[in-house]
Chain A
Amino acid sequence: MKETILNNRCENNEKMLDYILHLGILIGIYFILAIALQISLGFTGMFNIGHIAFFGIGAYTSALFVLYGFPFWIGLLLAGIFAMIFGFILAIPTKNFKGDYFSLIALWFSLIMYSLFMNLKITRGAAGLFGIPKPILFGFDFSSIILFFILVLIVSIICFLIVYRITISKFGKVLQAVRDDELAAKSIGKNTFKIRVISLMISAFFAGIAGSLYAHYISYISPETFTLMNLMPIIIIVIIGGLASLRGTLIASFLILLLPEVLKFILPSPLVGPLKQVIYAFILIVILLYKPKGFFGKVELE
């Protein structure tokens, strides 16, 4: 009897640990996605509604390459590179279209990508890609959740350090100059179009990396994962944390990912899904009204 209780307790502890690690992995992936959005939105001032498409491009690229027999590290790298190429394509219209017009073009880009995921033969349409293998990297098999967590943790830290370095570099200051006043940036000799292009490419690269991790963690991706609905939590993370604040982004990633989990303990589970979006919208409105710079932000969203 005692043994059975002990076994059950061990099993429960293991389940709890898996659950915590699962949340940790999602927080890591969303954190990468959010700091990628910080580059284009928080630091350069481009409200890129198409950000979720880069996440999707990364996920599909990595999944397809690995499904076709390439090693995971190639899939991961190509996920970033392919997303970056699409980032470049999206950046071309920013020569003439800025502000709200750019957001509209980004929205249109996101819808086109969704349509491609849905209709291309290689992406298997609405059925999506399944059986995406767990990563094997330098002989390590990351099929166990703890190892996958460690992988996500390492990749998140590397991404954070690179993004942090970019933001404190001279180039990072030029990004912020373009965000604050594009005409003034031009008037001190900066090629603002080139800066916007590079910014979007970097942002897309990291979103692609996050997409690769997501695809290999969940093992299944479909176009539904990459809709605007799923962009909402990323935008909210960036706004709550504060534009141009990486520290704020980290804290907000925890908050936004853990909030629905807390709700699961309070509300009946069928209500949590639909209510999640309502709560996200509510948080966004409250933050914009009472703390327009977010918790750690330097810049107000205009």
Chain B
Amino acid sequence: MLKIKNLSKHFGGVKAVNNCSFEIQKGKITALIGPNGSGKSTLFNLIAGVLEQDEGEVFLDDEDMTSISISKRVNKGISRIFQKSRLFGNLTIKENMLLALESDDTKFWKSFFSKTKGSKEKEINESLNLVKMDIHMNKLARNLSYGQKRLVEIVRAILMPHKILMLDEPVAGVTPALRKELSNLLLKLKTNQETIFIIEHDMNFVLNLADEVIVMDEGKIIAKGKPSEIRNNKEVLEAYLGN
């Protein structure tokens, strides 16, 4: 489904992503792991179009995404969350959700003459209910706790019409209770045959959830395979624990 070919990105003399190639299978959860600074988020940013690659190509369902803008990639089906929470702080949760659902809202005249209330409320309510956030629907996003923001952000990414979900450390920094909540949500998505590409530091969390694991170190892909294969991979252990 998502195919990466020889993707590279240099920052000055540092090779943040170095000639990476892999493929993400449809309906599977693929985890991208690696030590801090190994280039995982840079790779995510290259796929999403936030950063421009030096070399390489990105394909989604055989369609070349390499030279198109972030918003076009999103409209083609790449939905993502960032490492840092990026909700619209001065808008309510409901408004944040509506923005993800609407595709006509950038059309000025259509928006000017259309209704402002009542649209898609049921859909938003049901989605937020998945993570028990529906009661906070009318709260401003900036007033939520960090963990709540992460939950809402994931729901927003799910609500967007998409082919692949890219989640950058969704459970980092959240309380154990919220971690459980998020884990349940991801398992629910797994049963729904969603294609998910996830970066996560918590090895136990990710190895229990993922179908496939890709390991990065110093910008390179050092291992690929099933979680059971990765657990015992010598190179992976060295990358995490040192020689």
Does A15 touch B at the CB level, under 8 Å?
no
Interface of chain B: mostly helix, strand, loop or mixed: loop
Query: Are B70 and A298 within 8 A (Cβ)?
Result: no
Contact B102 A170 (CB under 8 A): yes
CB distance from A181 to the nearest CB of B (A): 5
> Do A184 and B71 touch across chains, with their CB atoms under 8 A apart?
no
Interface status of A11 (Cβ within 8 A of chain B): no
Is B160 an interface residue, CB under 8 A from the partner? Answer: yes
Establish whether residues B74 and A187, one from each chain, have CB atoms under 8 Å apart when the complex forms.
yes
Contact with B along A167-186 (1 / 0, CB 8 A): 01111111011011101111
Given the interface contacts A176-B88, A176-B90, A189-B103, does A183 sit within 8 Å of B50 by beta carbon?
Answer: yes
Given contacts A169-B114, A170-B98, A189-B71, contact A180 B88 (CB under 8 A): yes
Kindly supply a per-residue 1/0 record for chain B positions 89-133, scoring 1 wherever the CB is within 8 Å of any chain A CB and 0 otherwise. Answer: 111000100111011111110011010100000000000000000
Interface size on A, residues (CB 8 A): 30
Q: Which residues of A contact B116 (CB under 8 A)?
A: 168-170
By a CB distance below 8 angstroms, the chain A residues around B71 are 186-187, 189-192
B82 within 8 A of A: yes
Contacts of B91 in A (CB 8 A): 173, 176-177, 180
Query: A189 contacts which of B74, B89, B107 (Cβ < 8 Å)?
Result: B74
Complex contact A188–B105 (CB within 8 A): no
Chain A residues whose CB sits within 8 angstroms of the CB of B102 once the complex forms: 170
CA A244 – CA B91 in complex, angstroms? 12
Q: Say whether, besides A174-B106, A183-B50, A188 and B100 are in contact (CB < 8 Å).
A: yes
Q: State A255–B105 Cα separation when bound (angstroms).
A: 35
Q: Which of B138-173 contact A (CB under 8 A)?
A: 156, 160
Contact, CB under 8 Å: A189 / B75: yes
B residues in contact with A190, CB < 8 Å: 71, 99, 105-106
Cβ-defined contact, B90 with A187, below 8 A? no
A187 and B111: CB pair below 8 A? no
Q: Is there a chain B Cβ closer than 8 Å to A165's Cβ?
A: yes
Q: Does B9 contact A (CB under 8 A)?
A: no
A299 interface contact, C-beta 8 A? yes
Q: List, in ascending order, chain B residues with CB within 8 A of A174's CB.
A: 99, 105-106, 111
Tell me which of A170, A181, A185, A244 has the highest count of chain B C-beta atoms within 10 A of its own C-beta: A170
Output the least CB separation between B140 and chain A (Å).
Answer: 8
A166 within 8 A of B: yes
Contact among B69, B90, B160 for A298, CB-based, below 8 A: B90
**Nearest A-chain residue to B87, judged by Cβ:** A184
Complex alpha-carbon distance, A174 and B50, angstroms:
19
B88–A171 CB distance below 8 A: no
Hey, which chain B residues are within 8 Å of A181, CB to CB? 86-89
Chain A interface helix/strand/loop/mixed? helix
CA–CA, A7 and B116, complex, Å: 56
When the two chains form their complex, are residues A177 and B89 in contact, meaning their CB atoms are under 8 A apart? Answer: no
Q: How far is the CA of A190 from the CA of B73 in the complex (A)?
A: 11
Would you call B106 and A299 a contact (CB within 8 A)?
A: no
Return the CB mask of A240-261 against B: 1 if under 8 Å, else 0. Answer: 0000100000000000000000
Residue pair B98, A173 in contact (C-beta under 8 Å): yes
Are A183 and B106 in touch, CB under 8 angstroms?
Answer: no
Which chain B positions have C-beta within 8 A of A166? 112
Decide if A198 is an interface residue (CB 8 Å cutoff).
Answer: yes
Question: B105 contacts A171, CB within 8 Å?
Answer: yes
**B-contact 0/1 string along A155-168, CB 8 Å cutoff:** 00000000001101
By the criterion CB–CB under 8 Å, are A189 and B160 in contact?
A: yes
> Closest chain B residue to A297 by CB distance?
B90
- State whether the Cβ of A194 lies closer than 8 Å to any Cβ in chain B: yes
- Cβ of B80 within 8 Å of any chain A Cβ, yes or no, is yes
In angstroms, Cα B82 to Cα A66, docked, is 55
> Which B residues from 14 to 73 make CB contacts under 8 A with A?
48, 50, 69-71
Q: Is the CB of B105 within 8 A of A194?
A: no
Is A151 located at the chain interface by the 8 A CB criterion?
Answer: no
5 pairs of A and B residues whose beta carbons are closest in the complex? A170-B105, A171-B111, A184-B86, A189-B74, A180-B88
19 pairs, A vs B, C-beta closer than 8 Å: A169-B116, A170-B104, A170-B116, A171-B108, A172-B111, A173-B98, A176-B88, A177-B88, A177-B99, A184-B82, A184-B87, A186-B70, A187-B48, A187-B50, A188-B156, A188-B160, A189-B74, A189-B160, A299-B90
Given contacts A169-B112, A187-B50, A187-B82, 12 further A-B contacts (CB under 8 A): A180-B91, A184-B86, A185-B88, A186-B69, A186-B70, A186-B71, A187-B70, A187-B80, A189-B71, A191-B106, A194-B106, A198-B108
